[in-house]
Structure 1
Amino acid sequence: MAEEFIFDLTDAGRSEVVDQLIEAAEHIPGLVFTYPPISLWEPRDATASDPDTLWAGSDTFSHNLYIHIPFCRQKCSFCYYSVAVVQNDTQVIWDYLHCLEKEALQYLPMMRTKKIETVFIGGGTPSRLNPEQIDFLFERVIRRFDLSECREITYECSPDSATEDRIATMAANGTNRLSMGVQSLDPEILRKSRRADTPSSVVRTYYHMADSGVPNVNIDLIAGIEREAFDNMQRTMDAVTALEPMPTQITLFTLSVRKGAINDTTLREEDHAKLFRRSLALFRYAKRRMTANGYWQYSRNLFPRDNWIFHYQDNHWGNNGYVLGLGASSYSHSHGYTYGNAFTFREYMRRIQAGGSAVEKAFPLSEDESLRRHLVLAMKHRELDVARFNSFYPAGSEPLRQFRPVFDALAALGVVTVEDGRIAYTEDYADLSDRYTRLFYSSGVSEAVRRGVGQLTGAGSNAFNFTL
């Protein structure tokens, strides 16, 4: 297979790929979570916001549901997502849930024949919903869709709101994966990152989750936040490895500094390259600790124990699954478009309450851009199964052939191995996959990012936002 898949490069081809690799190596590999980058999506007119138009021909890949709950007690220093700091205003949460129901009803006619394989409830802080609101979310929004073949429902939680009764309500509604944003178990780092948690409250909430009967429990960690030192990360990993049982999954991120986050201001004068090198060193330390405790690297950021795969990520990234996103700032992927809803929850609600579409911007996907999207996100995983990838395309079409010069160059440099029908990152380079996925961007998208064009001014200027 290796001999068939890799072939000799012409001098011209070799030069082009090497130039791209040099360019990629000069930039800090910020998190790639979609393709094309959202900064390139354009405002859509009313016609292109129609569900039937957006979802025409979406029958090749799996169907998945994402729901965004934006409400938080406070905004953490590293957060660049759409969040709304709401303390005790339960009415605004109810108003938002009713908007989610109305938006779901807009899509229901074209989704009646689609079977939802995975559901992801993210935020924000979805565990801010009380048990009655959680029941409403499942009954009036999620279960309106066909869940007869759904194999995973993820509910994101925070230690400051995931109470035992709320976790029990999540479990009673079919949640089989809980994910808690821990980020750190060091008290100094928790305080600096504006978290209301303490290490003891985090551990207490974790045990509530582990004892709930939900089989898959994930925790999120970030290496290098708030100028984290080695001893801070060591305390976090000591606390994690002392958990019994240990989490079935750990999601580990390097530091991101993005527009909209508080740390974009507090770290603006810092040397971002130095910050990233520190973050990567701490990431690799945590990775070694996890590996010694039975975890393995499934993707750039996910480390499961045994076979606890994150199916939403596997569908969405590894296998180009379609995603219907509901709620403020949620983004969707159909066969012909990637598109996003209004970013702020108030603008989202205004649009829905007026009887209109929440869609704010979109990027139409040609067949080539759809293929590239599939490959870009699949290459965030530790390895790519070539036969599995090809199975989504017409027999004999060899969709990866045009990318062989890139794979050949990466193999020659020791970044990947190609054997037994699998393209796999070597040990250290799996930690930098966000850098190498950019080699599969189309020339038009790459050039637009270089110029910093699109809805986010200077999209190519911030090293942590670099999306080539």
Structure 2
Amino acid sequence: MARGVYIHIPFCHQICNYCDFNKVFFKNQPVDEYIEAIGKELSLIQKQQPEVFNHIETIYLGGGTPTALSASQITRLLEIIQSQIPTSELVEFASEANPDELTVDKLIALKNGGVNRISLGVQSFDQTLLKKLGRTHSNEHVYETIENARHVGFNNINIDLMYGLPGQTMEQWEDTLEKALALNLPHYSAYSLIVEPKTVFYIQYAKGKLNLPTEDLEAEMYDILMKKMELHDLKQYEISNFAKDGHISTHNKIYWDNDEYVGIGAGAHGYIQNIRYSNIGPIRKYLDTILNGERPILHEHEVTIEEKCEEQMFLGLRKNEGVSFEAFEKKFGISMLDKYKGIIDQLVAEELLIADKWGIRLSRKGRFVGNEIFQQFLLGD
């Protein structure tokens, strides 16, 4: 049964140099038509799977940039969502936002429409690095937006930060962390840069023109991140996420728990009734498919039991709590130790995993090489 709904808003006023998500420039796009199509897609899913929205805990507006929409467009989008999905018992209703786009009228529209969590794409407090990333906001935008959000009534605010950026020094990273933590927010996310295909950074990298920090420097940046978050009473509950008590990201935890969620919008991905699916990406083709009364699915894949086990391991190990022996066996009818004992024993011997009676989790040492550890569980029994 689906626990969450992800809704993709693919419009941006500025395309960032590192972003590989499905997105287009806002200008001259059929934005209003797209918003109405979101409602039609929700309706089509309900007709095919009437119970799919019965136990929804979270809704997440992602992109692109949801706050590229005007206040009136945001209001209309949220009206459509509330008309299709029961929202009275939601644990979390979140929206991504850019600091230089989230005006007071948009904040009010989000708040009135039921949104209770804002995630700001800050990335850095260094203007030189922001320019390299293709970001258009200033530090003043960040401070003003957070102040306005609090004034409107938002107390669950996250900011995203990035490290391992081209030309980034340790001094720049520590300065960004100090400025971020001075805001005293309940949640912070911090990600190392991944150079993805079909991005400006990828083209620069292929030409040898992207000056990335060394692996050792990036590891030092991650180490400093964990230490500073701990000093500010922010508990690390996932490799890249830190929160004060009661403020973990419920929606993202659905992904790490390997539970099901509905994906809505052009290029969105979903996981319903053992089927992982992806939607058509090009906006005009997405809209035409919806207008024809068809769900805009590009690809579907029925997840095998083997794939489910693998996903449970590499997603669950992202969480600090790790993966429970009991929960694994209850979910799949298979003992985790019977299936992965050799891999687990080896990783424990290398002090990359910690195993106890409850289950397994990454050690602090293991957090630095998480992707290498996750890969071990994709190599078969």
What is the TM-score when the length of structure 2 is the normalising length?
Answer: 0.92
The alpha carbon displacement at 1:117 in A equals: 1.3
The equivalent of 1:266 in structure 2 is 204
Contact (CA 8 Å) 1:299, 1:430: kept in 2 or not? no
Amino acid at match of 2:45: Y
Q: Give the equivalent residue in structure 1 for 2:256.
A: 317
Paired residue secondary structure (2:134): coil
Tell whether 2:190 aligns with 1:252. yes
> Which residue is equivalent to 1:376?
314
| Pair 1:300-2:232 in alignment | no
* Structure 2 residue 350 is the aligned partner of structure 1 residue 410: no
**Which whole-Å deviations, capped at 9, do the CAs of 1:210-251 have from their partners, x for residues lacking one?**
3332231110001022321122212211211222xx111111
**Runs of at least 4 residues of structure 1 off by over 6 A?**
none
- Decide whether the 8 Å contact of 2:168 with 2:213 is kept in 1: no
Shift in Å, 1:197: 0.7
Equivalent residue runs for 1:16-415 within 5 Å:
59=1, 62-87=2-27, 89=28, 92-113=30-51, 114-243=54-183, 246-268=184-206, 269=208, 275-318=214-257, 320-386=258-324, 389-390=327-328, 392-393=330-331, 397-399=334-336, 401-415=338-352
Distance in 2, matches of 1:227 and 1:109, equals: 51
Q: Is the Cα–Cα contact under 8 Å of residues 316 and 323 in structure 2 kept in the other structure?
A: no
Q: Say what the alpha-carbon RMSD is for the aligned residues.
A: 2.3
Q: Distance in 2 between matches of 1:218 and 1:105?
A: 31
Secondary structure class of the residue paired with 2:351? coil
How many residue pairs match? The answer is 378
Deviation (angstroms), 1:287:
2.5
What letter matches 1:436 in structure 2? I
CA distance in 2, matches of 1:144, 1:234: 45
How far off its partner does 1:436 sit?
1.3
Whole-angstrom distance in 2 between the partners of 1:182 and 1:273? 20
- The CA distance in 2 between the partners of 1:174 and 1:388, in whole Å, is 36
Does the C-alpha gap of structure 1 residues 213 and 374 become closer, same or farther in structure 2, counting only changes over 3 Å?
Answer: same
CA contact (8 A) 1:134 1:169 kept: yes
State the alpha-carbon separation in 2 of the partners of residues 406 and 211 from structure 1: 51
Provide Cα deviations, 1:354-376, integer angstroms capped at 9, x if missing partner: 33331112322112222222222
Q: Secondary structure at the residue paired with 2:371?
A: helix
Supply the distance in 2 between the matched residues of 1:334 and 1:400 (Cα, whole angstroms): 28
Please give the alpha-carbon distance, in whole angstroms, between the structure 1 residues aligned to 2:177 and 2:75.
Answer: 35
Question: Structure 1 pair 297/365, CA: closer, same or farther in 2 (3 Å)?
Answer: same
Amino acid at match of 2:297: V
AA paired with 2:202? D
Specify which of 363, 370, 374 is matched with residue 433 of structure 1. Answer: 370
Tell me if structure 2 keeps the 8 A contact 1:298–1:382. Answer: yes
Deviations 1:273-312 (A, max 9, x none): 8544433332322222222111121111111122321111
Residues of 1 paired with 2:222 and 2:281: CA distance? Answer: 30
Percent identity of paired positions between Structure 1 and Structure 2: 23
Structure 1 residues 346 and 160, CA, compared in 2 at 3 Å: closer, same or farther? farther
Distance in structure 2 (CA, Å) of the matches to 1:272 and 1:425: 30
Alignment gaps of 5+ in structure 1: 1-58, 445-468
TM-aligned CA distance change 1:425 to 1:160, over 3 Å: same
